[in-house]
Each structure stands twice: as structure tokens, then as C-alpha cells.
Amino acid sequence: MFSTFDDIVFSIILVSPIAFFYTLAKKHWLDNNLSKAFWNGIIFGVLAVFFVKLIYIPIGIYLGGQIHDFLYSTREWYIILIASIGIVGFVEEGFKALGAHIVCCFNRTDGFRPTFVFMSFAGCALSFSFLENLQYYYIYGASIVLPRIIVNSVAHLAFASICGYYSSIAFNLPKSPGKTAIFLNLGLLISSILHGIFDFLITRCNGFSIISLSGLIISLISVLIFIIYEIWIEALKHDLPPEGTLLICSSCRALTVERIRFCPFCGNRIKKVDSFPTIIRETKTN
């Protein structure tokens, strides 16, 4: 039983990022393989949280307490920034990327599709943020965590999207181990630095009220959503089937013979047509 209204609201908002993202993606873009990528990413995101917490145990012993308590209690800004990037950023983004890469490698047919890579990273990021928010709820309470849920979820998704973008490039390069390693490490480096800077800003703004920070929060969320959207569009542009065939849009019913997976007219997913006369009759009846 929930003891306060905040707890009830918290439980709804806690799952809303996963539910909203998947509902939107499923309606417009996801086929069966992409849905599997997302839910497998959710599973490996949970495992990523588990291993991150294990890594934080010896780090916490060395620092004399929890890593986040250390960040909030330290006054020197440069120490907070270095710890945020070097510890929090690299550890959390590294394990999220590892989980998403495992999902991609397990699927030999579609695992290296740019959209498959994106959805794998998205699942890992959203389940990671879900469990992180849940942990903070039990430590700090709903009134503290509630305003941060959306920001935290969108931030994790944005950083994972950046890492996933470079991973999709690496996976689809011609056989070149050197370039593949460069792109994989570059994606991890950029996402870790941005994650660390984000944590640094959150730490430095801890003493301000949510009202005074409302403008900054809205701006930050807008920028992060823009990053996610642009990376998803890039993934769609490069998500090509092995060969061209007669296709029909599942939404606007437009026909095309281009080598694409998504409709050039409305952007929704399209499906292969097995029989041309059948689809002509189907289109007429509709």
C-alpha cells in the first residue's frame, strides 16, 4: 500500500518513460525483431545495473562512502567533474553499451541493423534509469526523486543513443578491426563525457529549488530529445533491407519498390508484398 499521494504518482511516472517510448515506437516503426531488441535490451539493462553496483562497492570503500554521496559532499568543482566523468560516466555507459552489444551479437540476422542497435541501446538505457530511479526513491523518497525521473530517463536514453550511433557505424563498416575499435571507443568516450557533465550539473544544482531550475530543466530535456530524434532518423535512413522488392506501407498503403524498410511518404514501417494481384485487390477494397 502506498502511504502518500507522492508515492502513487511516483509509481505511475516511474514506468511512464518505458511505456511512452515503446508505445510510440511500436505504433509507427517497430517490427518484431526491433521489439525483441528493445525488450532484450531491457533485460540486459537490468544486468548492467547489477554489475555497476558491484563495481561501485570497492570504489565506495576507497572513497569512504557511496559515490553519489561523495559527489554531493565534495566542494571542489574539478574533483566532482573528474569523478563524474571518470567514474560515473565511463562505468555506467560502459556497462550499458556492453549489454546492448550482447543483444546485437546474439541476433545474427538483424543484430547489426542501425535501428536494431538503437533499440537495443534504448532498452538498456530505459531499464537502467528505471532501476536507478527506484533505488533513489528508497533512499531519498518520492518528493526528491519525482522531479528527476523524466530528466534522468531522457538523459540516459540520449547518452545511450549517441553510443549506439557510433556502434552501428562500427558494426556496419567493411572488415576493418582498427576502424571498428575506433568508432566503438569514440561512441563510449563521447557518451561518457556527456554523462559525466550531466551528473556534474545535477550535483552543482542540488541546492536550488525545482522552480528556479524549471527553465534549465525544460531546455535540457528539449536538447536531449532533439539528440534522440536526430539519431533515430539517421538510423532509419540507413536501415536498408538486403534487396529491393514490392512493398506496401502498413499505414498509408502506399506502394514502393525501393530498397527501404520505412515509408518515404508517412515514415511508418512497410512490409513485403508476396503477391502483386492480391495487394491490388486489397488496396481497392480499402
As a whole number of angstroms, the distance between CA 127 and CA 26 comes to: 17
pLDDT tens by residue, the chain, 286 residues: 445 666 677 778 888 899 989 888 887 677 788 899 999 999 999 999 999 999 999 998 888 878 877 887 877 888 889 989 999 999 999 999 999 999 998 886 776 888 899 999 999 999 999 998 888 888 777 777 777 888 889 999 999 999 999 999 998 888 778 888 999 999 999 999 999 999 888 877 765 555 556 677 788 889 999 999 999 888 887 777 666 666 777 677 777 666 667 776 776 776 655 444 444 444 444 4
Burial of 147 (0-12, 13-18, 19+ CB in 10 A): middle
- Cβ 100 vs Cβ 121: under 8 Å: yes
Nearest to 37 by CA among 132, 128, 130, 105: 105
CB count within 10 Å of CB 220 equals 18
- Cβ 180 vs Cβ 173: under 8 Å: yes
Stated as kind and residue range, the H or E segment containing 99 is: helix 90-106
Each residue of 110-130: b (16+ CB within 10 Å) or e? bbbbbbbbbbbbbbbbbbbbb
Q: Which residues contact 71 (CB under 8 A, 6 or more apart)?
A: 80, 83, 84, 88, 199, 203
* Residue 243: strand, helix, or coil: coil
As a whole number of angstroms, the distance between CA 21 and CA 17 comes to: 6
As a whole number of angstroms, the distance between CA 224 and CA 156 comes to: 9
As a whole number of angstroms, the distance between CA 240 and CA 238 comes to: 6
What nine digits make up the cell of 241?
Answer: 533491407
Beta bridge partners of 249: 270
- Cβ 98 vs Cβ 48: under 8 Å: yes
Burial of 96 (0-12, 13-18, 19+ CB in 10 A): buried
Residue 130's Cα: distance from chain center in Å? 12
Give pLDDT, residue 167: 93
Nearest to 187 by CA among 166, 172, 173: 166
Residue with cell 531546455: 219
Q: DSSP strand E in the chain: where?
A: 247-249, 255-256, 270-272
What is the maximal distance between C-alpha atoms in the chain?
Answer: 72
As a whole number of angstroms, the distance between CA 226 and CA 222 comes to: 6
Give pLDDT, residue 127: 95
